[in-house]
Structure 1
Amino acid sequence: MKILIAPDSFKESLAAEQVAFAIESGFREVFPNASYVCLPVADGGEGTTDSLVSATKGILHHESVTGPMGEAVKAQWGTLGRGQTAVIEMAAASGLERVAKEDRNPLLATSYGTGELIMAAMNQGIRHIIVGLGGSATNDAGAGMMQALGLKLSDAAGEELPPGGGALSRLAAIDTSALDPRLSQVKFEVACDVDNPLIGPQGASAVFGPQKGADSQMVSQLDANLAHFSDLIRQTTDLNVSQIPGAGAAGGLGAGFLAFTNAELKSGIDIVLDAVDIDSQLADTDLVITGEGRIDSQSIRGKTPVGVAKRAKLYKCPVIALAGSVEGNSGSIYEQGIDAVFSVVPGVMAIDDALQKAEVNIRERARNIAAVWALARG
């Protein structure tokens, strides 16, 4: 019997690789002689760089760049096995976890450091860059990123705009003439883990702004600022980015890529699954186990468990998903190819305890699932 284990990370608890090994450990208690393939994956958010570099035997690099609140931070990026493709997580430079909860402010947070990582990759001759969107602290539609790459954003007085989504209300002119000319030679594959548009009730500000520190008044302000930026982008490039699916990912970073680079927005999980060549493993697999920290109504919008399940169903493989928490109204995921979902938390416990005991809980839940699977197989 062959079991393919392809989970995402359990955020703030375990990396995807640790989750996969915990699941395998639990299953081995019941099926010690099964063949196990651990394939840690990601959907464009946290863990994408590690997953792709590990799967292709690539190299990790580290740069000193600008953090989301303007501080200097160390951020990693990777080159894949043959050295011709780079992978960058915007969260590495501009992520929410870079900012303490009490300091989070999307009016001020900037994606400038993400642009610096792109510059570092271009400086090494890279002309194919996979960018993972997700986990951002920003809501500037990639304005900071593009400023790092030479875009000029000025106010009515001709002064360069300061960082952050709040400053976009003062934007009067966009000048693309000083953009790094190498950008036109780079193919960007932008890995989205959501398909939200840039503005509106399902847009970047309304859906993701609150987790970045925005109250209701700030959400309205940010959404209006992104709408204004979108209008000026349309005037400058003839491209309307306001309602393109995925444009609202990572605080609108998807829109920035579409407007000013040779970018294609793609499902993040599909990019990763292709890169790790999951199809070659699925053809003779008997059971697939996937999962992530939380499974809820957002999971159907491009998250790892659903992406893995859809690919597995092409090969008629049964799929079981594990999660730290399962939202009560997440039933729609069963229509996406997942056959069963289990929370790994054994009972009521504090969040901190659940995070600390995640590895043990995953292993024990996996062991019990394996026992039921053994009974079902007779």
Structure 2
Amino acid sequence: MNDRTALTPLTIVIAPDSFKGSLTAAEAAAAMAHGVQDVLGAAARVVLCPMADGGEGTLETIAAAWGVEPRSLRTVDALGRVRTARYGVSADARMGLIEAAESNGLPLVTDVLLQPQRADTFGVGLLARELLEQNVEEILLCVGGSASTDGGTGLLSALGVRFCDATGEPVPPGGGGLAAIVSIDVSELHPRARAVRWRVAVDVNNPPCGPRGAAAVFGPQKGADPHDIEALDAGLANLAAVVRSATGEDMRDRAGAGAAGGMPVTLVPLLGAEMVPGSTLVADAVGLDALLATADLVLTGEGSFDSQSLGGKVAVAVAHRAPEGCPVVVIAGRVALSAAETRAAGITAALSIAGGPATLAELQRHASERVRDTTAHAVALICPQH
């Protein structure tokens, strides 16, 4: 703790992710704030900064930080069916934000038989095209929750790129057509597509192909059977080879390029997109560093604090940005890391909201109250002089 008198309010920054299935990030932050006030009252200055990792909820989190309301556009889902999707534009109109799952998210196509070789990212491309038409200077693309494994070809097709077979004709949409691609025609690419900065939020380090690739690891949850996985993996390998021939950039084994069905395979070489951890992209967009600069205590949290948290999820990303010597406490539905692992990640302590034996349904039903109470326990321990 920084040196303070008992009369000087402590600055406590609250920056949690959502507790999936229970609380949004904003709801979790509010519950934590109540816990702080229960203990410190006026002796605390609470700064709320709900976070996200580039997946579900990122659009709302960043839009709220920007002080804007999401906009809507008529687009299509992963199977080409018309739907309305939301996107964001910063208050100064310089930055655009796409949460890809708004148009090609897996939940949007579960009302029919999943079609893993047909699903594509064309609808995401329509959102990107709209932002280019609005003259943004940068596009933040958050790709979590995708229903497709098309290597980003659908998105680029919406921007004017043609992925052609041996006859010079465009291949069918979706991952099933990737194996037939022999050339890429960018002559009709949107004129602003390479003029803007693209940052693609990824939350996995998988390569596009092979046993840890997009098809093998994530294909089954998108409805892919062994035959589909083999076809999709071969298609991504072929796409990567064609991209390498066209651009000189080899994405086949690039860590993180397997995110969202391999979208970075084309976006990085053809548009100059940067891959960044989702939590990093969100932290930059909401100005987290400035908020943390004067913090005396940082509270963060997520549904499950486990080994995946160490790979760039919100809690660890927040801890890495906290001022040196500032305590960081994680409040989580489940804590699966040891005290030593927690400290090694730069976190002072991690506390579970499960005060005793409880089912997941019980924890979800009473999540807000449990987050509030657990936060109060943490604050009372760390700030006893107040």
- The alignment partner of 2:240 has SS state of helix
1:177-256 to 2 correspondence within 5 Å?
177-256=187-266
Q: Distance in 2 between matches of 1:334 and 1:206?
A: 34
What TM-score do you get using the length of structure 1 for normalisation? Answer: 0.90
1:309-348 to 2 correspondence within 5 Å?
309-312=319-322, 314-327=323-336, 332-348=341-357
Equivalent of 2:24 in 15, 32, 35: 15
In the alignment, is the contact (CA less than 8 A) between 1:49 and 1:87 conserved in 2? Answer: yes
Q: Which residue identity lines up with residue 322 of structure 1 in the other structure?
A: I
Change (3 A) 1:218 1:326: farther
Residue 5 of structure 2 corresponds to none
Q: Distance in 1 between matches of 2:146 and 2:365?
A: 24
Residue 5 of structure 1 corresponds to 14
Residue 381 of structure 2 corresponds to 372
Residue 309 of structure 2 corresponds to 299
- The alignment partner of 2:78 has SS state of coil
Equivalent of 2:38 in 19, 24, 29: 29
What TM-score do you get using the length of structure 2 for normalisation? Answer: 0.89
Change (3 A) 1:356 1:151: farther
In the alignment, is the contact (CA less than 8 A) between 2:139 and 2:199 conserved in 1? Answer: yes
Residue 129 of structure 1 corresponds to 139
> How big is each residue's C-alpha offset from its partner over 1:327-355, in whole Å with a ceiling of 9 and x where there is no partner?
46897454221222233244555544443
Equivalent of 2:48 in 38, 52, 60: 38
By how many angstroms is 1:216 displaced? Answer: 4.4
- The alignment partner of 1:30 has SS state of helix
Q: Does 1:361 align with 2:370?
A: yes
- The alignment partner of 1:37 has SS state of strand
In the alignment, is the contact (CA less than 8 A) between 2:62 and 2:282 conserved in 1? Answer: yes
Q: Distance in 2 between matches of 1:373 and 1:331?
A: 19
- The alignment partner of 2:215 has SS state of helix
Residue 118 of structure 1 corresponds to 128
- Higher mean alpha-carbon deviation, 363-372 vs 78-87, is at 363-372
By how many angstroms is 1:129 displaced? Answer: 1.1
- Higher mean alpha-carbon deviation, 206-215 vs 2-11, is at 206-215
Change (3 A) 1:292 1:99: farther
By how many angstroms is 1:45 displaced? Answer: 1.8
Q: Distance in 1 between matches of 2:344 and 2:268?
A: 31
Change (3 A) 1:221 1:351: farther
Change (3 A) 1:58 1:373: same
Unpaired runs of 5+ residues, structure 1, are none
By how many angstroms is 1:55 displaced? Answer: 1.5
Q: Which residue identity lines up with residue 278 of structure 1 in the other structure?
A: L
Q: Does 1:85 align with 2:95?
A: yes
Q: Distance in 1 between matches of 2:282 and 2:328?
A: 18
Q: Which residue identity lines up with residue 18 of structure 1 in the other structure?
A: E
Q: Distance in 2 between matches of 1:102 and 1:76?
A: 22
- The alignment partner of 1:7 has SS state of coil
> How big is each residue's C-alpha offset from its partner over 1:224-278, in whole Å with a ceiling of 9 and x where there is no partner?
2211111111112221111223212222112221022131222322232223222
Q: Which residue identity lines up with residue 16 of structure 2 in the other structure?
A: P
Change (3 A) 1:359 1:106: farther
- The alignment partner of 2:303 has SS state of strand
Change (3 A) 1:330 1:187: farther
Change (3 A) 1:368 1:198: same
By how many angstroms is 1:39 displaced? Answer: 0.3
- The alignment partner of 2:324 has SS state of coil
Q: Distance in 2 between matches of 1:333 and 1:212?
A: 33
- Higher mean alpha-carbon deviation, 303-312 vs 264-273, is at 264-273
In the alignment, is the contact (CA less than 8 A) between 1:188 and 1:264 conserved in 2? Answer: yes
Q: Which residue identity lines up with residue 376 of structure 2 in the other structure?
A: R
By how many angstroms is 1:10 displaced? Answer: 2.1
Change (3 A) 1:210 1:372: farther
Q: Which residue identity lines up with residue 334 of structure 2 in the other structure?
A: S
Equivalent of 1:282 in 272, 292, 295: 292
Q: Distance in 2 between matches of 1:322 and 1:215?
A: 38
By how many angstroms is 1:304 displaced? Answer: 1.0
Identity %: 39
Q: Distance in 2 between matches of 1:55 and 1:321?
A: 22
- Higher mean alpha-carbon deviation, 197-206 vs 325-334, is at 325-334
- Higher mean alpha-carbon deviation, 98-107 vs 355-364, is at 98-107
Task: Compute the RMSD of aligned alpha carbons.
Answer: 2.4
- Count of aligned positions: 376
Larger Cα-atom Rg: 2
By how many angstroms is 1:59 displaced? Answer: 4.1
- The alignment partner of 1:272 has SS state of helix
Q: Distance in 2 between matches of 1:332 and 1:196?
A: 23
Residue 169 of structure 1 corresponds to 179
By how many angstroms is 1:54 displaced? Answer: 1.7
By how many angstroms is 1:316 displaced? Answer: 2.3
By how many angstroms is 1:290 displaced? Answer: 1.0
Change (3 A) 1:267 1:328: closer
Q: Does 1:57 align with 2:67?
A: yes
